[in-house]
Structure 1
């Protein structure tokens, strides 16, 4: 049995802005089912204490960043009983905005401090577990927000437990002006080209890439892509230098949360044998969006952050052609204000065919996956993608660009075809894929065959955890 400290800035069901929260909420649970003692660490944002069990223990770690005392609260996630430490500091985490952005959608100006504190506490727990009567064997940190953990361990110049860094999206590298570096309390010896320095700034993510014992990405293809200039976001040189410790491990899905046969959020539950009942969910979704209720044409959908990365500007350009063929379109997402406005304008132009909901609603995302026929993911890059994995389980066929985790999970050709794939991030390629999708939909026998293929793919954490345990064991063996 291994003791694993898993550190993330967001964990479902406590708080969620993207796929990191889903992974942080489900991988530790899967590892615990294998008999390992996994405990979580996350900031105590506003409202989080309402979603956990009563506090069992707490310890005051002092005021190392001159922002108020850092208090570690020991509790459990109510939904699954997973042990979690919440880092409480009112001045850093109890705010009206989200975990990273204020109410105007701008980065908090003290994010470097907020996540230095999280990282420092992770390092303290890793080195002085006796404080909380539990010593981890492995420290597993996620994305830049926890990236300085291993830098603190390095700067303390003491032997430490193995550290695994998981990169969920390399583009978000946690870079800050050098003038703020002294706020972290880290040794200036680390502020070099081969250390934390990053194009005249310092980068929390680069720190984790350089000093961790293993680097993982959330899909095998993304692990290869980020070694290139095109996908490396300025860190490809660092990654090539540390390629010997880079691993691509595909994300999994918690099928206790995402299965149409047990999903309480959808209109009508169904499975492989009762696939025809998916039509009832399609009708219910059309009704919920006040759209034309005919079922003879495909309904395309998007569940996504609205960003350039996701290629949704391409969707806006090609949708009128699909709508002219009778297709419908339903979107759930938020992000770039220009994209939000453009999709709302599209809804105004096609009130019977287009439904748009700006924001995020977990239950509605389930109803959308169950009710649409095809999910559009034309990403310019995609570290893994979880929405296509959810879609497959619901018999919803993904239309994806061949990149990252999308390339590892969606296939158009061969006997195991489960969706539609295009190569280039341009309107011509996306439009062609959508047309192939519409043509296949008109041949319901072929369409149903793909649906059945899709629903039989197994992307459960049960399969994925074996890769994680092998990596942890290898590091401990070394």
Structure 2
């Protein structure tokens, strides 16, 4: 099959979250199975320096009045995946991130920036002859590409099947109605059964309503978003479309995330050499100037610092555990109050707490290899990738039972691999962390869970067939 895969971020070119990891890995896994996958993404500032020389370019004109849209054909050197980069200096070449400015504020023209990406994606899906390649299936990801489904709907012509994947329903890409005309979309789409969203218009809702199939990144999350608690205003829309909704767990690229071959960690290890994990723990403690007592547990956080991730709960329970000798290593950024809270905790326990604000890929690998347990007390979690990375490194996750966390981390049963709590409150989290510490000091129970964790197979190869079956079912229709 020929699959056009559209995303607003793709690792290793640019990454702000799990979407980039998925967009960087799933197409590679599909190509290994013999399918012809090509990517499309904006040419943000600095991106052209990270790809192979441009092989071909085509000018799509200036439909939005902000400058010509150039489609540049190249490939990603790391994995040889073909990609089209949409170049428009006025829209994409900015010094800040792909979505927000240096103050964390959304760019005011995001509706136009991603309408242009979606328009180019839809044009390419409909008119493959422009680049001598006609896709069989169009795979959209999150709100930034959801407008593409609306363009194809408004152009009222037969087109290829569309799959929309929801990586996080909360980010619905909704905008004021007075910005709608900028998108060049037909006002006919602005109904409650179309892309209208509580008096605004939504790129994600467009992607849902006009898709032939909707997927989320875990089976449990696919069920949760049908409820008002998790549906973020779209649960009614989704309940009306359950026949085209399914959940497929994200996979892990074990060429990037495996302690056996990870060149970013000080000491490689596997199931047979698990004792080497202690060497990574010591190195992490030394790097951060923390107490080097290996007999006490080290908890870790690698996350956006937001209320969604439940990291306010960690701030509440951590002091009591620090008094018992635990350590905490944090990597992340986000809510300024949470950032301040963690930095204050570090000042209060300088020998036990290390906090780095930001995201550093190399350091995240050393952290995963060096900590004993990873904290993910999310109020909701569509899939989660950090717990999947942690499992491979023999780092036991402490998670709330929600979304993809519920599908991948188990405290009970034949092969327990972590610690699970139900309610998003300090009491339940604290109890789970206490159970974790008890097992750590037991040793035998701890190592059994580590062995179980490292043996779980969450590779992309293990889930790719589910995607192939989905695409094929759409083509069969």
Q: What's the TM-score bracket when you normalise by the shorter of the two chains?
A: over 0.9
Map 1:177-256 onto structure 2 (within 5 A): 177-256=176-255
* Structure 2 equivalent of residue 311 of structure 1: 310
* Structure 1 equivalent of residue 138 of structure 2: 139
Q: Distance in 1 between matches of 2:160 and 2:306?
A: 37
* Structure 2 equivalent of residue 118 of structure 1: 117
1:78 Cα offset (Å): 1.0
* Structure 2 equivalent of residue 415 of structure 1: 414
Alignment deviations for residues 66-109 of structure 1 (CA, whole Å, 9 cap, x no partner): 01000000000011100000000000000011000011110000
Is 1:95 aligned with 2:94? yes
Alignment deviations for residues 227-275 of structure 1 (CA, whole Å, 9 cap, x no partner): 0000000000000011110010000000000000000000100000000
Map 1:15-26 onto structure 2 (within 5 A): 15-26=14-25
Q: TM-score, normalised by structure 1?
A: 1.00
1:34 Cα offset (Å): 0.2
* Structure 2 equivalent of residue 37 of structure 1: 36
Q: Distance in 2 between matches of 1:199 and 1:16?
A: 30
Q: Distance in 2 between matches of 1:436 and 1:104?
A: 40
* Structure 2 equivalent of residue 390 of structure 1: 389
Match of 2:45, SS state, is coil
1:449 Cα offset (Å): 0.5
1:415 Cα offset (Å): 2.4
* Structure 2 equivalent of residue 464 of structure 1: 463
* Structure 2 equivalent of residue 366 of structure 1: 365
Alignment deviations for residues 150-199 of structure 1 (CA, whole Å, 9 cap, x no partner): 10000000000000000000000000000100100001110001101000
Q: Distance in 2 between matches of 1:50 and 1:288?
A: 32
* Structure 2 equivalent of residue 429 of structure 1: 428
1:414 Cα offset (Å): 2.1
Q: Distance in 2 between matches of 1:463 and 1:283?
A: 34
Q: Distance in 1 between matches of 2:306 and 2:27?
A: 29
* Structure 2 equivalent of residue 67 of structure 1: 66
Q: Distance in 2 between matches of 1:218 and 1:463?
A: 14
Match of 1:474, SS state, is helix
Match of 2:406, SS state, is helix
CA RMSD in angstroms comes to 0.4
* Structure 2 equivalent of residue 337 of structure 1: 336
Which structure 2 residue ranges, 5 or more long, are not aligned? Answer: none
* Structure 2 equivalent of residue 54 of structure 1: 53
Q: Distance in 1 between matches of 2:299 and 2:414?
A: 24
Match of 1:459, SS state, is coil
Q: Distance in 1 between matches of 2:401 and 2:413?
A: 16
Q: Distance in 1 between matches of 2:167 and 2:88?
A: 26
Match of 2:157, SS state, is coil
Match of 1:309, SS state, is coil
Which structure 1 residue ranges, 5 or more long, are not aligned? Answer: none
* Structure 1 equivalent of residue 325 of structure 2: 326
Q: Distance in 2 between matches of 1:211 and 1:414?
A: 41
* Structure 1 equivalent of residue 266 of structure 2: 267
Q: Distance in 2 between matches of 1:333 and 1:344?
A: 11
Q: TM-score, normalised by structure 2?
A: 1.00
Q: Distance in 1 between matches of 2:298 and 2:282?
A: 10
Map 1:290-301 onto structure 2 (within 5 A): 290-301=289-300
Q: Distance in 1 between matches of 2:148 and 2:25?
A: 22
Map 1:146-161 onto structure 2 (within 5 A): 146-161=145-160
Q: Distance in 1 between matches of 2:321 and 2:243?
A: 46
Match of 1:468, SS state, is helix
Q: Distance in 1 between matches of 2:74 and 2:133?
A: 14
* Structure 2 equivalent of residue 350 of structure 1: 349
Q: Distance in 2 between matches of 1:94 and 1:445?
A: 54
Q: Distance in 2 between matches of 1:288 and 1:60?
A: 50
* Structure 1 equivalent of residue 103 of structure 2: 104
Alignment deviations for residues 360-401 of structure 1 (CA, whole Å, 9 cap, x no partner): 000100000000000000000000000000000000000000
Match of 2:273, SS state, is helix
Match of 1:59, SS state, is strand
Q: Distance in 1 between matches of 2:380 and 2:51?
A: 35
Q: Distance in 2 between matches of 1:402 and 1:476?
A: 36
Alignment deviations for residues 411-440 of structure 1 (CA, whole Å, 9 cap, x no partner): 001220000000000000000000000000
Match of 1:308, SS state, is coil
Give the paired residue count: 477
Q: Distance in 1 between matches of 2:457 and 2:213?
A: 26
* Structure 1 equivalent of residue 167 of structure 2: 168
Alignment deviations for residues 125-159 of structure 1 (CA, whole Å, 9 cap, x no partner): 00000000000000000000000001000000000
Match of 1:75, SS state, is strand
